[in-house]
Chains A and B, each alone.
Chain A
Amino acid sequence: MSTSANQPGTPVKMMPSSAAPKKPAAPVQKEDAMWLQKEMINRNYDELATAHETGRKVAATFVPGNLNELVMCFDFARSLPETNALQNGMRKKSGKMIMDAERDGHSEDVCTYVKADLGMMLGGEIGPTGQKLPTPDLLLLSYTGCFTFMKWFELIRQKYNCETVMLHTPYQGDGKISQNMRDYVVKQLKQAVIPALERVSGVKFDIDRLRQYMKESAKAEDDLVKVLQSAKNRPSPIDGYFGAVYYIGPMFTAFRGTPEATQYYDVLRQEIERRVAEKKGPITPEGEMAEEKYRLVVEGPPNWTNFRDFWKMFYDEGAVVVASTYAKVGGVYDFGFRHDPEHPLESLADYCLGCYTNMNFPQRIDMICKYMDQYQADGLLINSIKSCNSFSAGQLLMLREIEKRTGKPAAFIESDLVDPRYFSSANIKNRLESYFQMIKQKRSVAAGAAAVH
């Protein structure tokens, strides 16, 4: 990455470093930030692959409730099994892993992230980049917004026999974070999580080190929010779902709190601000989107096995996603929360408690309605994921409620995270095309009514 990137006022162009994978010759296009985040993720895989050789301990944890700043205080290399699964999905490796896990006795009914991970273990722990991933020294079970997480790490512990520490994040059943909930999480951090991190790493906890990381986090979070909220512009300079996947990568994984991430988000923000000034649309794999015809809010995670085909169904039709709930799964920052170095443990608790899937249904519906309004969306699309009950159970009610409250059309498609058997391209394409027609028709009717009056 260019060292000039942080110099104020200097136009910055981010370029992948020499260590980054070469751009394919095919006409696939990505924003520079997308290449850079890919490089960062790959570098993390390198670190993981060599962690034990270099004497580093490895902690595995989940994206929602990811305590990256805290884990870094103990010099752990950081592995995120969901990221491993989705990376394997994008590289078309997950299908076999899932079937291997099913042959090993895991039900076809359960989460395919889990099965992709277990299948990867059965295949010798070869990670998405082809490197062997290390056995974790510690499973930090950040039990936030998903019941499956608990079983997932119990299953890994069953195989690897590694130490596991639970951080139970209570659910916002009443739509608020109470002091009791916050105190409970802080007490767990003090009495269970930090002692386990100290014991396994052999490093003593230094709260000032944590504060320093959190300062970096807050700066990066400011920039991420500006990037995501740039989609309020017309045309939107970003895609807030498919593109946002790249933007949230460093923040939601092993980089939040690092100066590298702060720098990444600073550069990304500047790049997006330029696109806003130049009234440019989002970059898609086939270049800049020419005309913005439809502005959508999307609820639910993307499909990873056919990620590019899925995205193409949108940009081919001139549809841009202006906001998505998935971009909040590893932390909701656009309603004001920031990691607070003055109250580090309380702030970590609030972060965990506030992750999107830890919010109750009325909160989730309110949030989407706000997005529909603030981002001037034409409609809502729900991508319902078979694997993920945390997101999916109840989404049909969500659809009805949001249509009722906003008066805007909503549509529903179904796919899966990393199981290619559950991505039906023709069905999804048909559904999307009909949906875009519906929006168009609704617009014509509205325009006609306005003309009459």
Chain B
Amino acid sequence: MSQQIAGTPSGVGAIVARCEQLFEDLHFNAVKQWKAAAPGRKAIGFMPIYVPREIVHAAGMLPVGIFGGGDQMEVIQGDAYYQSYICRIPRSTLEMGLTGRLDCLDGMLFPSICDVIRNLSGMWQILFKDKYVRYIDVPQNYLDSVGGEFYIHEMQELRDDLGKLAGKAITDDALRASIAVYNDNRRAVQDLYAYRARKPWQAPTSEVYLVIRAGMVLPPEEHTGLIREYLISCEKENRPKRDNARVVLTGSFCEQPPLGLIKSIEMAGCYVVDDDFGLVHRWLLDEVPATGDPLQELSKAFLHRSNQQASKYDEKKEDKGKLLVHSVKFYGAEGVIFAAPSFCDPALLERPMLQDVLARQKIPYTAFKFAENTGQMAPIREQAGTFADSIKLWSAA
């Protein structure tokens, strides 16, 4: 199933410890080390939710997921740029940029997700004039001849830009090879999620999350190996199975909850069997053919076989919540936890529609908000615990 990659730690404790170290390192030393390993290497940051990382990879560059500053970093300068009613992730991202933590990045990609991240792309252009900055618009029209052509053109521009930055054009063969690398990575992530859903006591979400986050700073080949190692190591563990409620957690596709919050939900009696953390790894739902025209294949995968989420338009009313309901059924969940960042327009506007869909399907849910630096876990633990208890009581009734 997997090959041991040089330098990859073995044993679940060691793997998780390494992932946690990568997660906590807001100076991105792993990225610096990767760049230093060969002359001329470049790294390109990207924000949630999705960018076609295959293009960055095919340019010989390292795509680096920038998912905010978490709960350990004090935000001082970043707060000076935002009003109190704006979410936390742009503040901490700016803080990292202004304090030099992101100097190792040669460019930043800002995907089309919400007005705040959209505007941040322009702010980045002003504040970091020597860096490559690109807003990645993705189509909300899903016809190949309309949205597809637009998207292919956008990807081609990114390809041309990165080719110039790299000093050599990105070939179709390089793109195909990168597509294959990310297919492999996606399979590994899917296996990880499937394993967790089968045995959530063996692969708790507080660990799975760290393994997923490691993929934001590691080369995809190494990340794939790490996941495989984790799965093997997990299976060797003998961890107690609890009578927890199986839940899907949704709404955390951009700003991430603190690790303590994930642990609190688990400690409160919930097994998270699906989530939308680090969705970039699972945005495309299946394999992208590594033959044929690579940009066309990436476009088709985006248009027809990609995740469903609040920043993406649902063409039909009947489509709303389809993937969430599927996830509940597929992973055998007993309820849904809506965990959205405060002031997150997409997640909070989407929530009532999804709740409506769940109510019609008689799927129980609960909802709360967080910020990436939320420190008080007791109320969340109590709410998640009450929810888990109610599921158990309700199921027994």
> Which A residues fall within an 8 A CB radius of B?
104-107, 109-111, 114, 141, 143, 146-148, 150-152, 154-155, 157-158, 161, 164, 166, 168, 170-171, 173-174, 180-181, 183-184, 187-188, 191-192, 360-365, 384, 386, 389-390, 392-397, 401, 414
Residues in chain B near residue A414, CB distance under 8 A: 83
Residue B149, interface by CB 8 Å: yes
Which residues of B, 348-366, contact A by the 8 Å Cβ criterion? 348-353, 355-356
Q: Are the C-beta atoms of B140 and A150 separated by less than 8 Å?
A: yes
Residues in chain A near residue B310, CB distance under 8 A: 151
- Minimum Cβ distance to chain A for residue B132 (Å): 12
Q: Which 6 A-B pairs have the closest CB atoms?
A: A361-B122, A173-B135, A151-B349, A184-B150, A168-B140, A389-B115
Residue B345, interface by CB 8 Å: yes
Residue B24, interface by CB 8 Å: no
Q: Are the C-beta atoms of B349 and A155 separated by less than 8 Å?
A: yes
Residue in A closest to B122 when the chains form the complex, CB atoms: A361
Partner of B317 from A109, A158, A180 at Cβ < 8 Å:
A158
What would 8 more interface pairs be, CB under 8 Å, given A152-B349, A166-B140?
Answer: A151-B310, A158-B353, A173-B137, A184-B146, A191-B146, A360-B135, A390-B118, A396-B82
Q: Are the C-beta atoms of B352 and A105 separated by less than 8 Å?
A: yes
Residues in chain B near residue A397, CB distance under 8 A: 81, 123, 126-127
Residues in chain B near residue A171, CB distance under 8 A: 112, 118, 135, 137
Partner of B83 from A152, A164, A396 at Cβ < 8 Å:
A396
Q: What are 11 A-B contacts defined by CB distance under 8 Å?
A: A107-B349, A147-B118, A147-B346, A151-B310, A154-B313, A168-B313, A173-B134, A184-B141, A360-B122, A389-B114, A396-B83
Contact with A along B115-133 (1 / 0, CB 8 A): 1101111110111000000
Q: Are the C-beta atoms of B83 and A192 separated by less than 8 Å?
A: no
- Complex Cα gap A146–B112 (Å): 11
- Complex Cα gap A363–B126 (Å): 11
- Complex Cα gap A106–B354 (Å): 12
Q: Are the C-beta atoms of A166 and B123 separated by less than 8 Å?
A: no
Q: Are the C-beta atoms of A401 and B146 separated by less than 8 Å?
A: no
Is chain B's interface secondary structure helix, strand, loop, or mixed overall? helix
Q: Are the C-beta atoms of A360 and B125 separated by less than 8 Å?
A: yes
Residue B34, interface by CB 8 Å: no
Residue B154, interface by CB 8 Å: yes
Partner of A362 from B82, B125, B154 at Cβ < 8 Å:
B125
Q: Are the C-beta atoms of B83 and A384 separated by less than 8 Å?
A: yes
Q: Are the C-beta atoms of B349 and A110 separated by less than 8 Å?
A: yes
- Complex Cα gap A253–B80 (Å): 36
Determine the interface band of chain B, counting residues with CB < 8 A from chain A. 35 or more
Residues in chain B near residue A107, CB distance under 8 A: 348-349, 351, 369
- Minimum Cβ distance to chain A for residue B94 (Å): 9
Residue in B closest to A391 when the chains form the complex, CB atoms: B115
Residue B11, interface by CB 8 Å: no
- Minimum Cβ distance to chain A for residue B370 (Å): 12
Residues in chain A near residue B145, CB distance under 8 A: 187, 191
- Complex Cα gap A392–B115 (Å): 9
Residue B168, interface by CB 8 Å: no
Residue B90, interface by CB 8 Å: yes
Residue B311, interface by CB 8 Å: yes
Residues in chain A near residue B369, CB distance under 8 A: 107, 109
Residues in chain B near residue A110, CB distance under 8 A: 345, 348-349
Q: Are the C-beta atoms of B150 and A361 separated by less than 8 Å?
A: no
Q: A187-B146, A360-B135 are in contact. Are A168 and B141 (CB under 8 A)?
A: yes
Q: Are the C-beta atoms of B81 and A150 separated by less than 8 Å?
A: no
Residue B177, interface by CB 8 Å: no
Residues in chain B near residue A389, CB distance under 8 A: 86, 114-116, 119, 345
- Minimum Cβ distance to chain A for residue B366 (Å): 13
- Complex Cα gap A151–B352 (Å): 11
- Complex Cα gap A361–B119 (Å): 7
Residue B343, interface by CB 8 Å: yes
Q: Are the C-beta atoms of B123 and A361 separated by less than 8 Å?
A: yes
Partner of A396 from B80, B115, B135, B315 at Cβ < 8 Å:
B80
Residues in chain B near residue A192, CB distance under 8 A: 141, 143, 146
- Complex Cα gap A170–B153 (Å): 13
- Complex Cα gap A170–B82 (Å): 25
Q: Are the C-beta atoms of B90 and A393 separated by less than 8 Å?
A: yes
Residues in chain A near residue B140, CB distance under 8 A: 143, 150, 166, 168
Q: Are the C-beta atoms of A146 and B135 separated by less than 8 Å?
A: no
Q: Are the C-beta atoms of B147 and A392 separated by less than 8 Å?
A: no
Residues in chain B near residue A173, CB distance under 8 A: 110, 118, 121-122, 134-137
- Minimum Cβ distance to chain A for residue B192 (Å): 31
Residue B307, interface by CB 8 Å: no
Q: A184-B147, A360-B125 are in contact. Are A154 and B314 (CB under 8 A)?
A: yes
Q: Are the C-beta atoms of A146 and B146 separated by less than 8 Å?
A: no
Residue B296, interface by CB 8 Å: no
Contact with A along B77-112 (1 / 0, CB 8 A): 000111101100010000000000000000000101
- Complex Cα gap A395–B116 (Å): 11
Q: A166-B315, A187-B146, A362-B122 are in contact. Are A392 and B320 (CB under 8 A)?
A: no
Q: Are the C-beta atoms of B345 and A148 separated by less than 8 Å?
A: yes
Partner of A106 from B118, B157, B352 at Cβ < 8 Å:
B352
- Complex Cα gap A362–B141 (Å): 27
Q: A106-B352, A184-B146, A393-B86 are in contact. Are A147 and B114 (CB under 8 A)?
A: yes
Residue in B closest to A360 when the chains form the complex, CB atoms: B122
Q: Are the C-beta atoms of B112 and A154 separated by less than 8 Å?
A: no
Residues in chain A near residue B313, CB distance under 8 A: 141, 143, 150, 154, 166, 168
- Complex Cα gap A173–B124 (Å): 11
Partner of A393 from B119, B147, B150, B153 at Cβ < 8 Å:
B119
Q: Are the C-beta atoms of A155 and B353 separated by less than 8 Å?
A: yes
Partner of B141 from A104, A114, A166 at Cβ < 8 Å:
A166
Residue in A closest to B134 when the chains form the complex, CB atoms: A173
Residues in chain A near residue B343, CB distance under 8 A: 109
Residue B190, interface by CB 8 Å: no
- Complex Cα gap A269–B345 (Å): 40
Residues in chain B near residue A164, CB distance under 8 A: 317
Q: Are the C-beta atoms of B149 and A393 separated by less than 8 Å?
A: no
Residue B374, interface by CB 8 Å: no
Residue in A closest to B348 when the chains form the complex, CB atoms: A107
- Minimum Cβ distance to chain B for residue A141 (Å): 8
Residue in A closest to B154 when the chains form the complex, CB atoms: A180
Residues in chain A near residue B355, CB distance under 8 A: 105
Residues in chain B near residue A392, CB distance under 8 A: 83, 85-86
Q: Are the C-beta atoms of A174 and B353 separated by less than 8 Å?
A: no
- Minimum Cβ distance to chain A for residue B288 (Å): 22
Q: Are the C-beta atoms of B81 and A114 separated by less than 8 Å?
A: no
Q: Are the C-beta atoms of A109 and B114 separated by less than 8 Å?
A: no
Residues in chain B near residue A154, CB distance under 8 A: 313-314, 320, 350, 353
Residue in A closest to B116 when the chains form the complex, CB atoms: A393
Residues in chain B near residue A143, CB distance under 8 A: 140, 313
Partner of A361 from B125, B149, B348 at Cβ < 8 Å:
B125
Interface hub of A104, A161, A384, A393 (most chain B Cβ within 10 A): A393
- Minimum Cβ distance to chain B for residue A394 (Å): 4
- Minimum Cβ distance to chain A for residue B343 (Å): 5
- Minimum Cβ distance to chain B for residue A67 (Å): 15
